[in-house]
């Protein structure tokens, strides 16, 4: 088996790695936007819960939370599939980090524009979705790229709950061929390629929605 055949074997795990990364990124985005949005809406009563959520989920290791969800919850009668377990661990942790990224970016939205929207008669929620989020997302791109990259690099944990992603394939291959150096080198190359594609995708979106005078570029 030459190097390229090894890569081809490993690539069978590629789909799983990409799916795990996308599912956890999607969960993270939804959770991050919800948490940052609720905080921004200024409901004083939910703020302690939001603080509690980010405080806890930023401090817990991904693997511990993953095991808690996947191996712990069944003991109280809740059975969670592997992909959902990833979303509820890595996805929620990413959400906590993204919520903080979004909070910072929301602070950069001009207060005068929010006031103008209020003066126009828009509701708080309309202002959030029509003014604050569209501007904030453009400002938050660097922080979002960091977080998506982290998610990709944490995705190998999925093998511990039985998802046959790239790292799992590598372990199986290594066990049968004993060619660890080449195999893990190939694994590194594959992750690097996924990372570059992910980056290109984000940059494409960034350019597509770029507005003169707003954002980091």
Partner 1 sequence: MALIRIRNLVKQFGNHTVLDGVNLDLQKGEMKVVMGPSGCGKSTLLRCINRLVEPTSGTILVRDQDIMGAEVDVRALRQSIGFVFQQFALYRHLTVLGNVMLGLRKLRGMSRAEAEAQALFQLNHLEMADHRDKYPSQISGGQKQRVAIARALAMDPAVVVFDEPTSALDPVMVREVADLFNRLNREGVTLLCVTHDLALASQIANRVLFLDQGVIRADDTLENLAKHHPNDQVRAFFGEKEGRS
In terms of C-beta distances under 8 Å and separation of at least 24 residues, what long-range contacts does 141-145 make, across chains too? 141/202, 141/206, 141/215, 141/216, 142/216, 143/98, 143/101, 143/104, 143/105, 144/98, 144/101, 144/202, 145/199, 145/202
Task: List the one residue from 3, 43, 126, 200 that touches partner 1 (CB under 8 A).
Answer: 126
Between CA 86 and CA 5 the distance in angstroms is 29
Task: List the one residue from 123, 146, 177, 216 that touches partner 1 (CB under 8 A).
Answer: 123
Task: List the one residue from 44, 76, 78, 119 that touches partner 1 (CB under 8 A).
Answer: 119
Q: Structure tokens of 75?
A: 């003991």
Task: List the one residue from 15, 116, 189, 205 that touches partner 1 (CB under 8 A).
Answer: 116
CB under 8 A: which stretch of 36-44, 171-179, 195-203, 205-213 binds partner 1?
A: 205-213
Between CA 32 and CA 189 the distance in angstroms is 30
The number of helices, as runs of H, and strands, as runs of E, in the chain is 12, 0
- Specify the residue, 18 or 202, whose C-beta has the smaller distance to partner 1: 202
Site for partner 1 in 130-189 (CB under 8 A): 130-131, 134-135, 138
- Specify the residue, 10 or 109, whose C-beta has the smaller distance to partner 1: 109
Between CA 165 and CA 146 the distance in angstroms is 22
Site for partner 1 in 91-110 (CB under 8 A): 110
Residue 214, helix vs strand vs coil: strand
Q: Which of 141, 143, 111, 156 is nearest to 206 (CA)?
A: 141
Minimum distance between the CB of residue 23 and partner 1, rounded to whole angstroms? 29
51 binds partner 1 (CB under 8 A): no
Between CA 83 and CA 76 the distance in angstroms is 19
- Specify the residue, 98 or 109, whose C-beta has the smaller distance to partner 1: 109
Total number of residues that touch partner 1 (CB under 8 A): 22
213 binds partner 1 (CB under 8 A): yes
| Backbone dihedral region for residue 213 (phi beyond 0: left; psi -120 to 50: alpha; all else: beta) | left
Task: List the one residue from 44, 76, 78, 120 that touches partner 1 (CB under 8 A).
Answer: 120
118 binds partner 1 (CB under 8 A): yes
CB under 8 A: which stretch of 16-24, 34-42, 126-134, 154-162 binds partner 1?
A: 126-134
Summarize as ranges the residues that interact with partner 1 (CB under 8 A).
110, 112-113, 115-123, 126, 130-131, 134-135, 138, 211-214
């Amino acid at each position: 088996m030459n190097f390229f055949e090894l890569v081809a074997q490993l690539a069978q795990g590629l789909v799983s790695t990409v799916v795990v990364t996308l599912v956890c990124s999607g969960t993270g985005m939804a959770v991050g936007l919800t948490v940052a949005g609720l905080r921004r809406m200024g409901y004083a009563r939910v703020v302690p819960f939001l603080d509690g959520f980010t405080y806890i989920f930023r401090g817990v290791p991904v693997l511990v939370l993953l095991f808690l969800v996947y191996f712990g919850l069944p003991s109280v009668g809740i059975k969670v599939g592997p992909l959902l377990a990833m979303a509820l661990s890595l996805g929620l942790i990413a959400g906590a980090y993204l919520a903080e990224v979004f909070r910072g970016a929301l602070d950069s939205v001009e207060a005068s524009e929010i006031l103008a929207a209020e003066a126009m008669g828009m509701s708080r929620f309309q202002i959030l979705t029509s003014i604050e989020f569209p501007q904030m997302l453009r400002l938050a791109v660097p922080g979002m790229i960091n977080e998506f990259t982290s998610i990709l690099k944490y995705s190998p944990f999925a093998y511990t709950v039985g998802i046959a992603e790239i790292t799992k394939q590598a372990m199986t291959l290594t066990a049968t061929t004993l060619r660890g150096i080449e195999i893990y080198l190939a694994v590194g190359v594959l992750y690097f390629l996924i990372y570059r594609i992910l980056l290109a995708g984000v940059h494409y979106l960034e350019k597509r929605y770029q507005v003169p005078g707003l954002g980091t570029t």
